[in-house]
Amino acid sequence: MSMNLLKSKSLETYIIRRLVAFLVLVVGLFSYILTENHWALWDVAIVSGLLSLVLAFSAYRFMYRIMAAFERGLLQIEAVRMEDYNQYAKPEFNKGQVGEFHQELKVLSEQLLTQKSRYDQHAFLVYQLIDQLNTPILVFNQKNQLAYANGAFTLLFDQPWQMYRHGSPKLLGLIKQDDTWQFEADSSSTNQQWQISQSEFIDNAEANLLLVFTNIESALRSSQQNAWQQIIRVMGHEIRNSLTPVSSLAESLSTRTESSRDQKALAVISERCHHLQDFISRYSSLSQKLNLNSQQVSVNQLIDRLKGLFSGFELKVSASVEWLWADQAFLEQVLINLIKNANEAGADKVAMIINETKGQHLIQIIDNGHGFANLENLFVPLFTTKQQGQGIGLSFCRNIIEQHEGSIELINNVDLGVTVSINLPVK
């Protein structure tokens, strides 16, 4: 028989072969001794059989104890594989190689438990960070199913993310092309304003896909605001440098002339210089960072103050919430501007509705005026449809609302007037 046939491929086979060989050798030697001592053949067979049973039972116990040491180790390894690091196998032997083997298993379990705790803490911090951000973030598990999203999910789909739990990216209208995610072409046009970036993190030993949605429109608007600010800084500097000496010269000449006609003309020049300087000062503050003092604002008190400011037309207000989170002075100024605009647009009825929807506070101002002929340019600075307007009011309102981390939208009603919708975060 070759060496390859004698070579054992498992510990069990190795032990069994050695024990069988030892048992045969001992029983054979014992039988030979009895035969040499002239024992009867039948007696030899009985004694040899009994000896064989005793030796077989001893061999079984010997093998059982050896294999039990490994089986207990395997049970602990299986527990580790299932991420149960608190299960420890009681070693069959406390000393020697078996004891050392189980001790190493225990140390390994403790190390893996520590690492898992760190991973869990990191995952917990990731989810906390996701919840704090106002940009939509979606988490897909290893099965490509929606596992989590933050409150800003409603900005994409107008519903809580739980309505789409376990949904696939395809269900959400998302496709991956050239290693980048995007909305399908037939999805809502409003979704085209989002740029999608992807990342991954480990949670529960699984790789999770993280999709972060960035509002491109907001970024483009910020770029436009920076450009307008730069233009205004240059214009303001040049205009002020020109108007200041003209105004001073007009006032100086007005004191020297005795002609009432000349004095009136110079007064007009001086007044228009001051008007232009005031306009430049007010316009330059359109997109500046405001020092907001956000706090709880009583809706009832806000309604009472607004009703006290307007008369001559019908102002109806209804509210289903008691508090708003905003800077009271700036929010009042926005609402005053919008109601005043409605009245100037020919509205004799204005309704203001305040409630909570989709996790945000919604303020709607609805009028029955003549509406807007061009909605696309409403927030463009210097654009106005009023004969005496300066194109500042709506831009100023949007700047205030966006610095509250909210949004403002104007749409023409089907019949008459305009609906202004202001969304503010709930704190």
**Closest C-alpha among 188, 221, 235 to residue 378:** 221
Beta strands in 85-227 (DSSP E): 137-140, 146-149, 174-177, 180-183, 194-203, 206-215
Q: Answer yes or no: is 169 within a domain.
A: yes
- Shared domain check, 210 and 222: no
Please name the residues in contact with 195: beta carbons below 8 A apart, sequence gap of 6 or more.
213, 214, 216
- Shared domain check, 374 and 315: yes
- The answer to whether 424 and 354 are in contact (CB under 8 A) is no
- Shared domain check, 157 and 91: no
- The answer to whether 418 and 367 are in contact (CB under 8 A) is yes
Q: Indicate if the pLDDT at residue 391 is higher than 60.
A: no
Last residue of a domain, one of 77, 96, 115: 96
Q: Answer yes or no: is 304 within a domain.
A: yes
- Shared domain check, 421 and 304: yes
Q: Answer yes or no: is 120 within a domain.
A: no
* pLDDT tens digit sequence for 286-333: 556 667 888 999 999 888 888 878 877 788 999 999 999 998 888 988
Task: Name residue, tokens 């048992």.
Answer: 23
Q: Which domain holds residue 195?
A: 125-216
**DSSP secondary-structure letter at 375?**
S
Please name the residues in contact with 317: beta carbons below 8 A apart, sequence gap of 6 or more.
303, 306, 307, 351, 352, 353, 354
Cβ atoms within 10 Å, residue 324: 23
pLDDT of residue 353: 94
pLDDT of residue 320: 92
Q: Answer yes or no: is 112 within a domain.
A: no
- Shared domain check, 359 and 387: yes
- Shared domain check, 129 and 73: no
Q: Answer yes or no: is 404 within a domain.
A: yes
* pLDDT tens digit sequence for 171-217: 888 888 888 888 887 655 455 578 888 888 777 767 888 899 887 77
Phi, psi of 140, deg, nearest 5: -110, 135
Last residue of a domain, one of 175, 194, 216: 216
**Closest C-alpha among 103, 93, 74 to residue 11:** 74
Quick one: residue 169, left, alpha or beta (phi over 0 = left, psi -120 to 50 = alpha)? Answer: alpha
- Shared domain check, 414 and 301: yes
pTM, rounded to two decimals: 0.46
User: Which spans in 139-215 are helix H?
Assistant: 154-157
- Shared domain check, 324 and 242: no
With cut-offs at 50, 70 and 90, classify the pLDDT of residue 13: confident
pLDDT of residue 271: 78
pLDDT of residue 66: 81
With cut-offs at 50, 70 and 90, classify the pLDDT of residue 386: very low
Q: Indicate if the pLDDT at residue 3 is higher than 70.
A: no
Q: Answer yes or no: is 289 within a domain.
A: no
- The answer to whether 401 and 424 are in contact (CB under 8 A) is yes
**Closest C-alpha among 301, 314, 296, 287 to residue 361:** 296
Concatenating the DSSP letter of every residue in 266-297 gives HHHHHHHHHHHHHHHHHHHTTTSPP----EEE
Range with the lowest mean pLDDT among 13-17, 83-87, 206-210, 331-335? 83-87
Q: Say which CATH number the domain at 149 has.
A: 3.30.450.20
Last residue of a domain, one of 181, 216, 251: 216
More confident residue, 84 or 279: 84
CA–CA separation, 416 vs 412, rounded Å? 7
Quick one: residue 122, left, alpha or beta (phi over 0 = left, psi -120 to 50 = alpha)? Answer: alpha
Instruction: Indicate the helix (H) or strand (E) that contains 362.
Output: strand 360-367
Tokens of 285: 């503050």
- Shared domain check, 89 and 15: yes
What is each CA distance from 40 to 23, 32, 36, 51, 123, in whole angstroms? Answer: 22, 12, 10, 16, 80
Q: Indicate if the pLDDT at residue 23 is higher than 70.
A: yes
Amino acid sitting at position 342: A
pLDDT of residue 382: 45
Amino acid sitting at position 376: E
Q: Answer yes or no: is 105 within a domain.
A: no
Say what angle helices 216-256 and 260-284 make with each other, to 10 degrees: 160
**160: helix, coil or strand?**
coil
pLDDT of residue 389: 40
- Shared domain check, 169 and 65: no
Range with the lowest mean pLDDT among 12-26, 78-92, 369-383? 369-383
* pLDDT tens digit sequence for 112-171: 777 777 766 776 777 888 888 888 999 999 889 998 998 888 888 878 898 899 999 988
Tokens of 108: 């390994």
pLDDT of residue 2: 46
Amino acid sitting at position 233: R
Q: Indicate if the pLDDT at residue 266 is higher than 60.
A: yes
Q: Say which CATH number the domain at 301 has.
A: 3.30.565.10
> Could you tell me what percent of the chain has a pLDDT over 70?
81
- Shared domain check, 402 and 327: yes
Tokens of 149: 């999203």
Instruction: Find the mean pLDDT for residues 21-36.
Output: 87
Tokens of 213: 């949605």
Q: Indicate if the pLDDT at residue 384 is higher than 80.
A: no
Q: What integer best gives the mean pLDDT of the chain? A: 79
Q: Answer yes or no: is 110 within a domain.
A: no
Domain count, the chain: 4
* pLDDT tens digit sequence for 224-241: 666 666 666 666 666 777
- Shared domain check, 319 and 414: yes
* pLDDT tens digit sequence for 351-381: 999 999 877 899 999 998 887 766 665 555 5
